[in-house]
Structure 1
Amino acid sequence: MKTRIATAVLAAALLTACARDPQPASLPPAPSATSTATSTAVAEPCASVITRMSERERLAQLLVVGVDPADPDAAVRLVREQQVGGVFIGGNATALLRNNALDAVQHAARWGVSIAVDEEGGRVQRIDELDGTLPSARTMARTKTVDQVRAAGRERGAQLRARGVTVDFAPSLDVSSQPDDGPIGDRSFSSDPAVVRAYGLAFAAGLRDAGITPVFKHFPGHGHAEGDSHAGQVTTPALASLRTVDLVPYQDVAGFDGGAVMVGHLTVPGLTDGVPASLSPAAYRLLREDYHFTGPVLTDDLGAMKAITGTYRLPDAVLHALLAGADQALWSSGGNVSAVLDRLQQAVDSGELPATRVTDALGRILPAKHACG
């Protein structure tokens, strides 16, 4: 998530989501599932949980869908009727974050539901009107020690947890010297990758201390990219350059127990062959094989960024992401769940989306939200 979304903008997105979604003139071919990340064996009791799900319920667990923060009843209906694996709360409205409203959302889920916000601090906050403001990442790194940032993450995590949130799409591990108001800007802890690594992992550890799952983003690195994925294609420096700077903070992510990674819509010369990393098998292999990350991986927003929507219909973008190696596909605009599930079910029935790819993703998603007992 790149900006703090105003409530009016989110409402407009929810109303127009189904009208948007044009058929592209020429849909790029889907990646082959055989070239994605290595498979994870599903151990008991998760294997037993998976066998009790219908095929459509399994597919729904691979989705994280935006909900209107001003409409708790709609969020409950979505989870009860579709059994999605996760919901995302954006915007500035706070009805879903007050008066234990998220308890009803959680109770509507047969296997639990991850409830996410993007609480980074600075210009990307969701509970500032309720629990006070959090400084931007850049400000925290400039004014606090690493230990103090961990404490700040722990305090913010406790506030989120008390409101029913379980996942925070933070911290940003992007390495950037952009002006504060740039696409990444002050959302980055520093232009020094060592500082980003130290402070990013500290903030994530604080969230984890409080029982919140942190999500490191935007792999493989947005800080030196040209463009904004909200507006169109974004291109990073070549992979060889990313390895020396932007990917440095990810060297320790494999050893961080209890986190997830978000893959950005970043075209990487020498890696993604002209497609966004979020839809590229090579990007997921890089994360799994070179950086040895074994936890859950999800996409950046597939429904509100022109880097994706300019080429792909939402159902096809979700399918491409799952085939490439994502465990969960995210879109913030809400709606379209039935259309996406129909497309995924069609892909399973035809063999385009192997059942083993679905099970592989479930083997990471379900334990992460403690859905297996």
Structure 2
Amino acid sequence: MNLRTALVFVVTAGLLAGCGGEQAQVSSPTTSAAPASPGPASAGTPSSAAPSQATDPCAPVISQMSQRQKLAQLLVVGVSPSDPAGAAETVREQQVGGIFIGGNPTAILTGGALDPVHAAARWGVSVAIDEEGGRVQRIDALDGSIPSARVLAATMSPEQVRGLALDRGRQMRARGVTEDYAPILDVSAQPDDGPIGDRSFSTDPHTARTYALAFATGLSEAGVTPVLKHFPGHGSAEGDSHEGAVTTPPLDSLRAKDLVPYEGIADYGRAKVMVGHLTVPGLTGQQPASLSPAAYGLLRGDYRFTGPVITDDLGAMRAITSDHPLPDAVLDALRAGADQALWSSGGKVSTVLDRLESATADGELPATRVDEALGRVLRAKHTCG
């Protein structure tokens, strides 16, 4: 997810979304035990193959689910930040795997308002916000502002940034947030107000990696899952995916610069990766990366990432919406290799699930792909394993 202005309509649209699970419900973040610290072995080093039925602790949980419930776990849907009760109702009814809170209102982030949302989820629910700092913040009105990534790297040491992210993560966790769509790994020399601009830590890929790693480590230590974005690199791209198609330099150029922060990805600990709507010459053809099997293959193969992968917003960014109706975009993303599909505009959950159910029934979306993604999603929420 990107700019605050692209998410404001979430508030006015009366958004709903849902989430699902059964007896393995996770505790509300406001009462959870201290999380394990991130470690090199937790994100990217094991084989990307799904565990076998005999050894997979998620198998008993998955066996309780209908096909529609499985598919719902692969969705992350925008909810209204002004309507906590509506968010809880949607989670209870639809049992989606995650919700996203955009916009500026803060009702859903105060007074334990997210507790009923977590309680409504049978298999746990991820609750995500964009909290990068600078012009992309969600809790600044509640907990104060933090600087942009560019300012952080220019004025603080990596250890200081880790400490800042740890404090910010604790603030998020206390409010019921479990995921932060940050840090940005994009390497950008754009002006501060460019599509990436000051959201990037540095024009140097190694510096960008160092500071992104520090930020991610702080979040993880606070019990908030960092979501690394925007793979395979938005910083050198031409265009803004909110406004239309975006093209990056060729893949070889990305490897030398924009993809450097993804090297040694296991170091980021228990992280997710967000794939952007980026057309990459030499990799994705005419498709955006978020819908391209080749892009997910690059992340899983060359960069050996085995954690959950989520798309950038499929419902509010013209790089997708201009050519792909939402149900088809979600299906295409899951078929390509995404584990979760995100749309911030909310609603349409039943319509999307109808499309996915039809696709699984006729083999368009293989059951093995669904179960592979589902296992990653459940393990990331500590529902099993």
Whether the aligned pair in 2 keeps the contact of 1:64 and 1:84 (CA below 8 Å) is: yes
For residue 225 of structure 1, the aligned residue among 223, 237, 243 is 237
Which TM-score applies when normalising by structure 2? 0.90
| Separation of aligned partners in 2, 1:138 and 1:334 | 31
Q: Is 2:167–2:222's contact at 8 Å kept on the other side of the alignment?
A: yes
Q: Which residue of the other structure, out of 71, 78, 82, is the alignment partner of 1:59?
A: 71
Secondary structure in 2 matching 1:2:
coil
3-state DSSP of counterpart to 2:263 = helix
Q: Deviation at 1:5?
A: 3.3
Q: Deviations over 1:300-347 (max 9, x none)?
A: 000000000000000000000000000000000000100000000000
Identity value in percent: 67
Amino acid in structure 1 at the alignment position of 2:50 = T
- What amino acid is aligned across from residue 272 of structure 2 in structure 1? A
Cα gap change, 1:192/1:207 in structure 2, threshold over 3 Å: closer, same or farther?
same
Partner of 1:187: 199
1:40 equivalenced with 2:50 (yes/no): yes
What is the CA–CA distance in structure 2 between the aligned matches of 1:41 and 1:360, rounded to whole Å? 9
* Other structure's SS at 1:126 match: coil
Give the superposition deviation at 1:9.
2.7
What's the counterpart of residue 62 of structure 2?
50
Contact 2:314 2:342 (8 Å CA) reproduced: yes
Q: Which residue of 1 aligns with 2:124?
A: 112
TM-score, length-normalised on structure 1?
Answer: 0.92
* CA distance in structure 1 between the partners assigned to 2:145 and 2:157 by the alignment: 19
Corresponding residue of 1:325: 337
The CA distance in 1 between the partners of 2:48 and 2:170, in whole Å, is 34
Instruction: Find the counterpart in structure 1 of residue 11 from structure 2.
Output: 11
User: Which residue number in structure 1 is paired with residue 326 of structure 2?
Assistant: 314
Indicate which of 105, 108, 111 corresponds to 1:99: 111
Q: Deviations over 1:21-55 (max 9, x none)?
A: xxxxxxxxxxxxxxxx9642254321100000111
- Cα RMSD of the aligned pairs, angstroms, is 1.6
Question: What is aligned with 2:309?
Answer: 297
CA-CA distance at 1:362 after TM superposition = 1.1
Describe the shift of the 1:163–1:205 C-alpha distance in structure 2 as closer, same or farther (beyond 3 A).
same
Q: Deviations over 1:156-204 (max 9, x none)?
A: 0000000000000000000001000000000000000011000000000
Gaps of 5+ in 2: 18-46
Q: Distance in 2 between matches of 1:344 and 1:140?
A: 42
Paired residues of 1:264 and 1:276 also in contact (CA < 8 A): yes
The within-5 A match list for 1:265-284 is: 265-284=277-296
Q: Which residue does the alignment assign to 1:369?
A: 381
C-alpha deviation, 1:13, in angstroms: 4.8
Which residue of the other structure, out of 66, 91, 95, is the alignment partner of 1:79?
91
Following superposition of structure 1 onto structure 2, how do residues 123-138 of structure 1 map, counting pairs within 5 Å?
123-138=135-150
* Structure 1, gaps ≥5 residues long: 18-36
Question: Is 1:140 the counterpart of 2:152 in the alignment?
Answer: yes
CA deviation profile, 1:106-161 (whole Å, cap 9, x unmatched): 00000000000010000000000000001100000000000000001100000000
In structure 1, C-alpha distance between the alignment counterparts of 2:379 and 2:5, rounded to whole Å: 31
Cα separation, 2, equivalents of 1:256 and 1:292 = 13
CA–CA distance in structure 1, aligned partners of residues 182 and 247 of structure 2: 22
Letter aligned with residue 4 of structure 2? R
Deviation at 1:4, TM superposition (A): 1.2
Q: How many pairs does the alignment contain?
A: 354
Question: 158, 163, 168: which one pairs with 1:151?
Answer: 163
